[in-house]
Structure 1
Amino acid sequence: MAVNYKIYQSKANNASKGLYYARAAYRESVGLKKLAEIMQANCTVKYSDILAVLTELAEVMKTELLNSNSVKIEGLGTFRVTLKSKGCANLKEFKPQNHIIGARVRFAPEVYKDIVSGKRVKPMLAGMKVAELDDYKSVKRADVTKE
């Protein structure tokens, strides 16, 4: 298994313009039903029970996030809401409906500190390998070689 990537050329109007970068490439999106199928094959719990629990998890997570709580799932990470807002010169003039312009759900994977190396480790990415996606339209030029 490997995380696939595509190579692209930056078109940004800054120092990165023209440079080549790797971007993660996704083959498909795996939904709750597929996750439940995979999980059923790996354990003794029935598909319908797994699907019910995952569906309820999504609903409860939404409720907790909307109640201004972060949601930590041990072994996975933490979900939290972040806001994007416009600046306001005067605190008395700040109106949420005018100045808060967006919201996102942020995910931070679980991290622990390795006692031997002292480095922060993300267990979900431990042992990750990368490979270029075999079939895609790239912006590669003749001088870029595939390793």
Structure 2
Amino acid sequence: MSIQYKMMGKNDNMNPKELKKKGYYPVVVRKQTVDIKGLAEKAARRCNLSNFEIEMAIKVALEAIQDELLDSNNVCLEGFGTFSLKAESRDVETPDELRAESIFVKKISFKHSPILLQKMKAATFVKYKNLK
């Protein structure tokens, strides 16, 4: 298993034409997006459970994660990472000015675990060959 990449040219919008810096950076080539069914099929090849059983387990786990986030909890999946909510509201001058109805979820944050990062850093890369 290797991660495919291609090289992209850098855009230098900060300098005038005669001083523009040139360079390239790698971009990961995404092959596809794997859904729950795809994950279940792959996981089923590694154990004695059926695709359906694993798919249902994933769906139930996702619902449980959502419930925990809605209950003001962080959710840590050991070896993978932690999910948490970030809130936002309009600016106020005193805490008493803010009503709960004015607060909304800004984003769901994900902090990878050191174990996951270590595994990803051990990845190998191969240059993408566009065969089209």
Report how far residue 38 of structure 1 moved: 1.0
With the length of structure 1 as denominator, give the TM-score of the two structures: 0.67
Tell me: CA distance 1:107–1:43, structure 2 relative to 1, closer, same or farther (3 Å): same
| Structure 2 counterparts to residues 48-127 of structure 1, below 5 A | 48-83=52-87, 88=91, 90-91=93-94, 93=97, 103-111=106-114, 122-127=117-122
CA contact (8 A) 2:85 2:105 kept: no
Tell me: CA distance 1:12–1:107, structure 2 relative to 1, closer, same or farther (3 Å): farther
Tell me: CA distance 1:68–1:101, structure 2 relative to 1, closer, same or farther (3 Å): closer
Report how far residue 73 of structure 1 moved: 0.7
Tell me: CA distance 1:10–1:65, structure 2 relative to 1, closer, same or farther (3 Å): farther
More helix per residue:
2
Which whole-Å CA distance do the structure 1 matches of 2:14 and 2:101 have between them? 34
Which whole-Å CA distance do the structure 1 matches of 2:72 and 2:130 have between them? 43
Candidates 30, 37, 43, aligned match of 1:39: 43
With the length of structure 2 as denominator, give the TM-score of the two structures: 0.74
Aligned equivalent of 2:130? 135
Which whole-Å CA distance do the structure 2 matches of 1:64 and 1:10 have between them? 42
Identity between Structure 1 and Structure 2 (%): 24
Structure 1 residue runs of 4 or more that deviate by more than 4 Å after TM superposition: 15-18, 92-98
Tell me: CA distance 1:22–1:91, structure 2 relative to 1, closer, same or farther (3 Å): farther
Report how far residue 59 of structure 1 moved: 1.1
Structure 1 stretch displaced more, 103-112 or 32-41: 103-112
CA contact (8 A) 2:89 2:104 kept: yes
Aligned length: 126
CA contact (8 A) 2:5 2:26 kept: yes
| Structure 2 counterparts to residues 12-27 of structure 1, below 5 A | 13-14=13-14, 18-27=22-31
Residue 8 in structure 1 maps to residue 8 in structure 2: yes
